[in-house]
Structure 1
Amino acid sequence: MNEVQRRLATAGREQAEASHREAPNNLEAEQALLGAILVNNDAFYRVSDFLKPVHLFEPLHRKIFEVAGDIIRMGKIAHPVTIKTFLPDDMKIGDMTVAQYMARLASEAVSIINAEDYGRAIYDLALRRSLITIGEDMVNIAYDAPLDMPPQNQIEDAERRLFELAETGRYDGGFQAFNDAVALAIDMAGQAFERDGHLSGISSGITSLDARMGGLQRSDLIVLAGRPGMGKTSLATNIAYNIAAAYEGEIQADGSTKAKNGGVVGFYSLEMSSEQLATRIISEQTEVSSSKIRRGDITEVDFEKLVACSQMMQKVPLYIDQTGGISIAQLSARARRLKRQRGLDVLVVDYIQLMTGSGKSSDNRVQEITQITTGLKALGKELNVPIIALSQLSRQVESREDKRPQLSDLRESGSIEQDADVVLFVFREEYYVKNLEPRDEHDPKYAEWEALFDKVKGTADVIIAKQRHGPTGTVKLAFQAEFTRFTDLADPSFTQYEH
């Protein structure tokens, strides 16, 4: 047998052995942990925040851990005697009954001090088994790839499953117990109480808007729409920068960092380049007109302001992706990557109509927009972050006498309106009134126009047309067009609400 044949034979044997290998597990560690819990129930609380029944390899051990956990959470004592009534009587472990087996576990229990180490070992082995499952699925799908699943789709699917595994330790989804959901809701209320401004969501940095929305709620799809020139990109940029600039991290028990205030922001700028977006933000922060910055028409004092601002902005966790025509699948994959590498608390997409669907190119644009909005909503839930998605409005607004936008004005409105948790319209009456200026200053109507223009000048309406968690209504803001900046009005009496 030559060298090549010998290597092939060795590889064949290794492959055959690999296919019959037992999945990674450690039954002794599971027995030791269960024994520690049965002897001292406090051991359960050392592992319960990360270890779930599904992570144990032996089905009987899963059942014992699950029942013991339920009993302990109810404030009762989990002991071989109290647990055995919830387990099948006829089950045998070798020549022992379940009750005898649990008594043996308790009698050979390790110290409670070691419980967490055993729990971590069991958890790590469960992750390895999950990785093996994902790897096997990747290999099998790659070998027998269906016609409607190109390699790129498989990569995105594998990346999604790996992300979910890295985030939560499991990727199977499934039902959640209602008491777990209640605990999460109470935690959210507690965090809101401790957070600046007592908001349940992330502060947008605009007080009057936060007062109506309670901040940006996690997993919400917030559609921000307006006609060209209304300032929807400016408002989204203002909010994104406010959140990133307010970022204050807090180290968690597992070593990860969680936002206490503000957050890490991902901004998909499909229309503007990252330099244009940065120019807008610098203009807003320094109060130097963006048109002057672009033309270089600035003084030495202005330049010093720009340099100081840029140094401050380098520390701000705002990440910009300027890829044009990005698909919903690509956007999702990059957002997952950003969350893993840098963290992610808010996602901004400017804007929906410049994105493409993940399927085959279709003439049916409405169907493609539906796929995009559904994908954005699903991504928000998966990453547990609010997504601000900008949208165009149809031209029918211009043909009406009242130019204030309505939900029916959303382009391809069916899916956008349906999938959005919140719909905000940006409306600047100043934009339309300015175009009505009479040519002749001596025209009797000129004084009337001037009075109206002075009334609306420098203001903008943010119309909350839809909100799942609260009332609709209109919030009036100040708008400085020169610096593309939205701020709260000095006089709060301008804010209008509808209940």
Structure 2
Amino acid sequence: MKNKSNTLHVPPQAMEIEEVILGAVMLEREAYHEISNLINENSFYDLRHQKIFKAIKSLFMASQPIDILTVTNHLRNTGELEAVGGAFYITELTSRVTSSANIEHHALIVMQKYVERETIRLVAETSQNIFEGSSDIFNIHDNLIISIQKLTETNGDQVSELNNIITDRLSYYETKNDSGLTGVTSGFNGIDLITSGWQKSNLIILAGRPAMGKTALMLNFARNAAVLGEIPVVIFSLEMSKEQLTDRLIASETGISLDLILNRGLQDHHFKKIHEMKELIDSQIFIDDTSALSIQAFRSKCARLKRNNKVGLIIVDYLQLMKGEPEYKNNREQEISSISRSLKAVAKDLNVPVIALSQLSRKVEERADKRPMLSDLRESGSIEQDADQVVFLFRPEYYGIKEDRYGNSMIGITEVIFAKNRNGAVDNALLSFNGAKMKFCDNALEITQDLF
């Protein structure tokens, strides 16, 4: 009788499925969007397939075509063509498929096999550590749990539609006590006069020091585009959760104090207001609160949202929290540069405006004049280069400035400074801001270039 313990075990794999995935992506470039958040080159069992998928990813990130010729040339240029079986094998892969139908299902199979292989490896390493007795058993146990959790984490969708989030938040509160614009409206006359609306393919950088109101204004932009402009909007929030953003949207829409909402002190008349904010509930705002979002996952998600939901405005809060390409992980300036280039590429490829929030350096605080300048953009000059518009927020009151040089009150006033405007005027707009309600409004003061 054969001893089962001596049977040679072949690692879990799905070679034919791997071949189908590679062939499908080379036939239809858009298929890459469907799978890039599920698998990467390490998910493939065959080393040849790992190299081919890595080449496909490189072409995608460079906004290059993906087909038999481009993949073959890329592998030839990197000296790996022969290692994957030559041009003949690349061609053979595409001959195995006729379309990219079911590619997401196929990617899930490849991902499952990868998880199985990695689980076997982790368990084997853990067993070896236990036999050696060189580590504390509780540490070994904890490390195994953490490793398996990381293994099963993916960049899968965390996009939630706002009306569903509002329903969830209501449950939480109750249990816990024709504009004439050529682009997407900001909802503010002063800003729209300067921009004619956020223009397709533009990258807009919204920057400021902490406490200037960047996130609040971003949410006002999102709400106004979705409600007034009837444009589907997606917010990628790398800092705040979707619940936190929704609380702020509700405060702005209803006029209920954010403090009251957060402390769950809502009364019946407050709930009535929330239920009556029909325009916001019916709007198409999507929120993805994936933390440490990679630029590759961002690009794929945006492409799918544009295709499936006709998203017309993309917002990122904020740029410095995104993960760039691995090769730049030891050079922060190059990493930020690659991120800003990718944001511009998304705006251009999808033909939608992209608004990215950005931090400013502390140099602002060291100057007598606290008004921000382009040189204050944090960590990379390429942000200014890639952006079509750079917009700074400045609150004079925050720095003790109570009046402008004409004697106008600056209490509650935010200056919106267009420091760069590639296709328009470099100008300023004034908004009034109610911090308790997260609400910006047009201000009656005259818009001027030189306020002080």
Query: Same fold, TM exceeding 0.5?
Result: yes
Summarize the alignment of residues 271-286 of structure 1 with structure 2, pairs less than 5 Å apart. Answer: 271-286=239-254
Summarize the alignment of residues 11-22 of structure 1 with structure 2, pairs less than 5 Å apart. Answer: none
For 1:354 and 1:330, the matched residues in 2 are separated by: 14
- Alignment of 1:462 onto 2:429: no
Task: Classify 1:475/1:324 alpha carbon distance in 2 versus 1 (closer, same or farther; 3 Å).
Answer: same
Task: Classify 1:152/1:321 alpha carbon distance in 2 versus 1 (closer, same or farther; 3 Å).
Answer: farther
- Alignment of 1:379 onto 2:346: yes
Structure 1 residue aligned with 2:180: 198
Counterpart among 416, 423, 432 of residue 390 in structure 2: 423
What is the letter of the counterpart of residue 259 of structure 2? S
Summarize the alignment of residues 44-193 of structure 1 with structure 2, pairs less than 5 Å apart. Answer: 131=28, 144-145=48-49, 150=54, 153=57
Structure 2 residue aligned with 1:87: none
Task: Classify 1:286/1:147 alpha carbon distance in 2 versus 1 (closer, same or farther; 3 Å).
Answer: same
- Alignment of 1:297 onto 2:201: no
Is this contact kept in 2: 1:225–1:424, CA < 8 A? yes
Larger Rg: 1
For 2:30 and 2:346, the matched residues in 1 are separated by: 23
Tell me the secondary structure at the aligned position of residue 266 of structure 1.
strand
Is this contact kept in 1: 2:223–2:280, CA < 8 A? no
Is this contact kept in 1: 2:213–2:393, CA < 8 A? yes
Summarize the alignment of residues 17-32 of structure 1 with structure 2, pairs less than 5 Å apart. Answer: none
Structure 2 residue aligned with 1:399: 366
Shift in Å, 1:371: 0.4
Task: Classify 1:286/1:152 alpha carbon distance in 2 versus 1 (closer, same or farther; 3 Å).
Answer: farther
- Alignment of 1:333 onto 2:287: no
Shift in Å, 1:298: 2.9
Summarize the alignment of residues 317-356 of structure 1 with structure 2, pairs less than 5 Å apart. Answer: 317-356=284-323
Is this contact kept in 2: 1:407–1:413, CA < 8 A? no
Per-residue CA deviations over 1:410-461 (Å, capped at 9, x if unaligned) read: 0023110100000000111111218xxxxxxxxxxxxx99x99982111110
| TM-score, with length taken from structure 1 | 0.56
Is this contact kept in 2: 1:159–1:333, CA < 8 A? no
Shift in Å, 1:484: 1.3
Structure 2 residue aligned with 1:235: 217
Structure 1 residue aligned with 2:90: none
- Alignment of 1:476 onto 2:430: yes
Is this contact kept in 2: 1:433–1:453, CA < 8 A? no
What is the letter of the counterpart of residue 413 of structure 1? S
Task: Classify 1:134/1:474 alpha carbon distance in 2 versus 1 (closer, same or farther; 3 Å).
Answer: closer
For 2:28 and 2:297, the matched residues in 1 are separated by: 23
Shift in Å, 1:197: 2.1
Shift in Å, 1:153: 3.2
For 1:482 and 1:457, the matched residues in 2 are separated by: 14
Structure 2 residue aligned with 1:496: 448
Task: Classify 1:314/1:146 alpha carbon distance in 2 versus 1 (closer, same or farther; 3 Å).
Answer: same
What is the letter of the counterpart of residue 261 of structure 2? I
Task: Classify 1:159/1:477 alpha carbon distance in 2 versus 1 (closer, same or farther; 3 Å).
Answer: closer
Identical counterparts, % of pairs: 39
Is this contact kept in 2: 1:265–1:319, CA < 8 A? yes
Shift in Å, 1:152: 9.1
Task: Classify 1:151/1:297 alpha carbon distance in 2 versus 1 (closer, same or farther; 3 Å).
Answer: farther
Structure 2 residue aligned with 1:3: none
Structure 1 unmatched ranges of 5 or more:
1-14, 16-126, 167-195, 247-260, 435-447
Structure 2 unmatched ranges of 5 or more:
1-15, 17-23, 36-43, 67-98, 101-177
Structure 2 residue aligned with 1:101: none
Shift in Å, 1:328: 0.8
Per-residue CA deviations over 1:168-203 (Å, capped at 9, x if unaligned) read: xxxxxxxxxxxxxxxxxxxxxxxxxxxx22212111
For 2:233 and 2:187, the matched residues in 1 are separated by: 14
Is this contact kept in 2: 1:202–1:262, CA < 8 A? no
Is this contact kept in 1: 2:227–2:279, CA < 8 A? no
Greater RCO, 1 or 2 (C-alpha within 8 Å, sep 6+): 2
For 1:472 and 1:350, the matched residues in 2 are separated by: 24
Is this contact kept in 1: 2:234–2:314, CA < 8 A? yes
What is the letter of the counterpart of residue 418 of structure 1? Q
